Amino acid sequence: MLTIALPKGALLKDSIALFKSVGLDFSAFLDSGTRQLQIPDPTGRAQGLLVRAQDVPVYVEYGQAHLGIVGYDVLREKQPSVAQLADLGFGGCRMSVAVKATSPYRSALDLPAHCRVASKFVNCARAYFQSIDLPVEIVTLYGSVELGPITGMSEAIVDLVSTGRTLQENNLIELEVLYQSTARLIAHPVSYRINAEGMEQWIEALRQESLAIA
């Protein structure tokens, strides 16, 4: 049976809609009353796993899921050994450097050397500042990173931005965009190569459907 890792959170609804459009229905995950983390498609052709977005590539990499949907931001941060098959076009956001609007900084290069930058995306943040040859101290946070500059713990943050409303409401502004992120279809490399569980037909159907939506 084909096993698919679906991400909790912002990408779930669109992910389920995409699979439903190709004939696989995991909409039971959207029922607020369910606590199930593994459900079969009603046709019995596949099963879905409901996991944290950051864990989707882990389940795929270790072969517990043949396919998965996850944001490009997670792939950039974790660098998992998975096959990246398609940009699905939804879940658009961007990874940005932001600071207090009242700060004197108007580009990342204006930041002082060895300043503190708060982020959940430690690897992405470190790689970016290395690329511009600016030594900084990366402070790992898992909650609202916007509090870093607000409290004075950090001069800047590196975080995902969607509409920009959260930054605006907290008097923060974007300095730089590191990259754009959208939902991606990924696969276990060996399963993809041997066409396990006939996954090739589903991959092609998902690609075509994502192109039609775009």
Is residue 199 over pLDDT 80?
yes
Domain range enclosing 202: 2-91+182-213
Residues 6+ apart with CB under 8 A from 53: 7, 8, 9, 11, 70, 71, 74
Same domain, 78 and 107: no
* Predicted pLDDT at 32: 82
* Predicted pLDDT at 212: 76
Same domain, 71 and 114: no
Q: What is the mean pLDDT of the chain?
A: 96
* Predicted pLDDT at 213: 67
Mean pLDDT of 85-99: 97
91 close to 71: Cβ distance less than 8 angstroms: yes
Amino acid occupying residue 165: R
Same domain, 33 and 108: no
Distance CA 25, CA 178 (A): 35
* Predicted pLDDT at 211: 84
Spatial CA neighbour of 198 closest among 20, 23, 13: 23
Domain tally, the chain: 2
Same domain, 120 and 186: no
Is residue 214 over pLDDT 80?
no
pTM: 0.93
